[in-house]
């Protein structure tokens, strides 16, 4: 039991904190975030025999759709399954964070500080509404950070077996992350540079080269099953077009000639300023980590590796010019080291003054810190007000009553509003929603869908579509009113 106590504590902390902070939680009427519903619909399609990217268009990685597909199998009209996966993801993140804290301090401090980290991260503005692609990659980043800390520790580089494990596991983490959202590779690029240079210095170029190749091989391995899948379904070019090409050349502003390097640097610097202000709950720990590492650690690599990794991670994420809140979720991994160094500093002060904390006092402190952290998370989250909403307050459930089972649906002028989810409808159109990438082919195809009356129902956000009266008649109009989120939805039925 003692061996598993840390992971059980992490599961408990993750469950309670997420219960109040993610809209996937049963305390909320539903998770009405359009992006999360889009992932759910893509996963639903995957589980119903449709080929992602070929039959359904969206631009995130296949592992994300697989995860949402499994969540759909758990609960096909709600985010219960997503909530369970969020708990697993947060538990993994907190567990490896706890192990890193324990390495720098003690298990006692790991228990005390885990809820602090959890509340700081999962109630932040960056966390958004819950269910982001980046959220599910946090444990992968935490694992890699934990193993890098081990590699940089005293003597770990002397063990061939340890080095092989570190580069194997971290490589797999990089490979999985690459097939969720490849902008996360900025973090793993920095990890790779630090690890290889460190090993080169300690063990020589030959051994470091072997480990570098090992990392690359295992980073490529998670993509092999997907490449086989796409080849077998004749959709490898669709994967490249949707996930790689369109993301680079249509979704981001990185390829725009007018978007100069000076403008990029100015914009991402300004974005960082607002991130720190809006998500100070975890950025304070990132700053603490930078300062304490520079003061406490010996050797230039150990002193600067955190800012270097942060800079690489941040630059790759935001160089495209988009500034959506949840894009900064990967930066949360750097808060781990700040919390760990904070615990180390307190422990150092206690030892210096010969202060010993009794077990009972430590347990009491853990309970108090956990309680305060949970209350803070419940109040600090941007979703606090939404907990007051019932299903009667959410237009989706009213609209779902208008749509019989086995109907077909098309959603226009918005990313998936959630009607596919609450009705259980599996999309039948490739462009089942109006994606954030403004592709001409998407708009042309959606016009064709309307002209030919392909679906039984059409949901349009904030406008009455052209050609809609040819085949459809208006059923109802729904108002969505939430602070900073106001929209009008028009539901049409085929004549």
| pLDDT digits 0-9 by tens, 265-285 | 788 888 999 999 999 999 999
pLDDT tier for residue 254 given thresholds of 50, 70 and 90: very low
Residue 454 belongs to a domain with what CATH number?
3.40.190
Average pLDDT over residues 122-139: 97
Number of domains in the chain: 2
Q: How wide is the angle at C-alpha 190 spanned by C-alphas 187 and 196, nearest 5°?
A: 135
Burial class (CB in 10 A: 0-12, 13-18, 19+), 278: middle
Per the domain annotation, does 43 fall within a domain? Answer: no
Per the domain annotation, does 44 fall within a domain? Answer: no
Statement to judge: residues 207 and 291 lie in one domain:
yes
Statement to judge: residues 158 and 271 lie in one domain:
yes
The model carries a pTM of 0.95
| Both tokens assigned to 404 | 């019989």
**Shortest CA distance to 21 belongs to which of 118, 137, 142, 133?**
118
With 70 as the cut, is the pLDDT of residue 144 above it? Answer: yes
Per the domain annotation, does 45 fall within a domain? Answer: no
With 70 as the cut, is the pLDDT of residue 257 above it? Answer: no
Statement to judge: residues 205 and 348 lie in one domain:
yes
| pLDDT digits 0-9 by tens, 65-124 | 999 999 999 999 999 999 999 999 999 999 999 999 999 999 999 999 999 999 999 999
Taking the C-alpha atoms of residue 34 and residue 210, their distance in angstroms, rounded to an integer, is 44
Taking the C-alpha atoms of residue 56 and residue 70, their distance in angstroms, rounded to an integer, is 17
Statement to judge: residues 377 and 411 lie in one domain:
no
Taking the C-alpha atoms of residue 275 and residue 334, their distance in angstroms, rounded to an integer, is 14
Task: Kindly report which listed range (152-156, 371-375, 475-479, 490-494) carries the lowest average pLDDT score.
Answer: 152-156
| Both tokens assigned to 398 | 């009213």
Average pLDDT over residues 133-153: 97
Taking the C-alpha atoms of residue 316 and residue 322, their distance in angstroms, rounded to an integer, is 11
3-class DSSP state of 404: coil
Domain housing 92? 5-31+79-386
Statement to judge: residues 315 and 436 lie in one domain:
no
Final residue in a domain of this structure, among 326, 352, 386: 386
Helices (H), 204-299: 205-220, 223-232, 236-239, 246, 261-278, 280-296
Statement to judge: residues 332 and 465 lie in one domain:
no
Taking the C-alpha atoms of residue 323 and residue 318, their distance in angstroms, rounded to an integer, is 7
| Both tokens assigned to 371 | 């309680």
Taking the C-alpha atoms of residue 433 and residue 56, their distance in angstroms, rounded to an integer, is 9
Contact 97, 113 (CB under 8 A): no
pLDDT number for residue 413: 94
Statement to judge: residues 285 and 331 lie in one domain:
yes
Per the domain annotation, does 67 fall within a domain? Answer: no
pLDDT number for residue 355: 74
Statement to judge: residues 418 and 273 lie in one domain:
no
Taking the C-alpha atoms of residue 131 and residue 229, their distance in angstroms, rounded to an integer, is 25
Per the domain annotation, does 38 fall within a domain? Answer: no
| pLDDT digits 0-9 by tens, 376-396 | 999 999 999 999 999 999 999
Per the domain annotation, does 476 fall within a domain? Answer: yes
Q: How wide is the angle at C-alpha 433 spanned by C-alphas 429 and 438, nearest 5°?
A: 115
Q: How wide is the angle at C-alpha 385 spanned by C-alphas 383 and 390, nearest 5°?
A: 100
Helix H, strand E, coil C: the string for 118-129 is HHHHHCCHHHCC
| pLDDT digits 0-9 by tens, 415-467 | 999 999 999 999 999 999 999 888 999 999 999 999 999 999 999 999 999 98
| pLDDT digits 0-9 by tens, 352-363 | 777 777 888 889
Across all residues in the chain, what is the average pLDDT? 94
Final residue in a domain of this structure, among 352, 386, 420: 386
Statement to judge: residues 330 and 430 lie in one domain:
no
Task: Kindly report which listed range (3-17, 90-104, 241-255) carries the lowest average pLDDT score.
Answer: 241-255
With 60 as the cut, is the pLDDT of residue 64 above it? Answer: yes
Statement to judge: residues 120 and 241 lie in one domain:
yes
Per the domain annotation, does 119 fall within a domain? Answer: yes
List Cα–Cα distances, 375 to 25, 115, 119, 370, 381, in angstroms: 16, 11, 9, 9, 10
| Both tokens assigned to 122 | 């999962």
| pLDDT digits 0-9 by tens, 190-239 | 999 999 999 999 999 999 999 999 999 999 999 999 999 999 999 999 99
Q: How is 166-211 classified by DSSP, letter by letter?
A: HHHHHHHHHHHHHTT-GGGHHHHHHHHHHHHHHHHHHH-HHHHHHH
Per the domain annotation, does 60 fall within a domain? Answer: no
Statement to judge: residues 427 and 310 lie in one domain:
no
Rounded to the nearest 5°, which phi and psi values hold at 436? -65, -20
Contact 492, 458 (CB under 8 A): yes
pLDDT number for residue 258: 57
Statement to judge: residues 371 and 410 lie in one domain:
no
**Shortest CA distance to 138 belongs to which of 177, 190, 193?**
177
With 60 as the cut, is the pLDDT of residue 255 above it? Answer: no
Final residue in a domain of this structure, among 355, 386, 417: 386
Average pLDDT over residues 152-157: 81
């Amino acid at each position: 039991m003692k061996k598993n106590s840390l992971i059980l504590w992490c599961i408990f902390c993750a469950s309670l904190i997420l219960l109040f902070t993610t809209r996937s939680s049963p305390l909320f009427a539903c998770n009405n975030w359009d992006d999360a519903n889009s992932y759910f619909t893509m996963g639903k399609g995957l589980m119903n025999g449709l080929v992602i990217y070929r039959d359904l268009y969206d631009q995130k990685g296949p592992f994300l759709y697989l995860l949402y597909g499994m969540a759909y199998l758990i609960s096909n009209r709600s985010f219960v399954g997503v909530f369970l996966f969020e708990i697993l993801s947060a538990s993994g993140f907190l567990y490896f964070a706890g192990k890193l804290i324990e390495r720098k301090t003690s298990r006692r401090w790991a228990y005390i500080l885990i809820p602090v980290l959890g509340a700081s991260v999962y109630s932040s503005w960056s966390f958004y509404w819950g269910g982001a692609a980046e959220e599910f990659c946090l444990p992968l980043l935490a694992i890699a950070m934990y193993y890098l800390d081990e590699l940089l520790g005293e003597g770990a580089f002397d063990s061939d077996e340890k080095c092989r494990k570190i580069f194997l596991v971290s490589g797999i983490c990089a490979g999985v992350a690459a097939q969720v959202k490849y902008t996360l590779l900025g973090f793993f690029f920095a990890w790779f540079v630090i690890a290889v240079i460190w090993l080169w210095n300690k063990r020589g170029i030959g051994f470091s080269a072997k480990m570098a190749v090992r990392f690359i091989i295992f980073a490529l391995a998670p993509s092999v099953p997907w490449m086989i899948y796409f080849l077998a379904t004749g959709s490898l070019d669709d994967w490249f077009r949707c996930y790689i090409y369109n993301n680079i050349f249509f979704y981001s502003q990185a390829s725009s000639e007018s978007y100069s390097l000076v403008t990029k640097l100015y914009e991402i610097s300004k974005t960082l300023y607002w991130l720190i202000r809006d998500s100070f709950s975890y950025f304070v720990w990132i700053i603490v980590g930078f300062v304490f590492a520079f003061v406490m650690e010996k050797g230039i690599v150990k002193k600067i590796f955190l800012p270097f990794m942060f800079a690489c991670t941040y630059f790759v994420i935001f160089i495209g010019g988009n500034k959506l809140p949840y894009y900064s979720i990967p930066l949360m991994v750097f808060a781990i080291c700040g919390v760990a160094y904070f615990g180390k500093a307190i422990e150092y002060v206690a030892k210096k003054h010969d202060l010993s904390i009794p077990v009972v006092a430590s347990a009491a402190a853990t309970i108090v810190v956990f309680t305060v952290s949970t209350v803070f998370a419940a109040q600090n989250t941007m979703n606090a007000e939404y907990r007051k909403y019932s299903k009667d307050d959410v237009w989706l459930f009213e609209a779902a009553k208008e749509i019989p089972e086995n109907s077909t649906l098309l959603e226009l002028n918005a990313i998936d509003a959630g009607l596919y989810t609450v009705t259980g409808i599996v999309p039948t159109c490739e462009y089942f929603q109006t994606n954030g990438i403004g592709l001409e082919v998407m708009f042309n195809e959606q016009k064709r869908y309307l002209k030919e009356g392909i679906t039984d129902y059409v949901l349009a956000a904030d406008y009455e579509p052209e050609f809609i009266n040819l085949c459809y008649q208006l059923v109802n109009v729904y108002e969505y009113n939430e602070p900073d989120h106001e929209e009008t939805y028009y539901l049409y039925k085929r004549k």
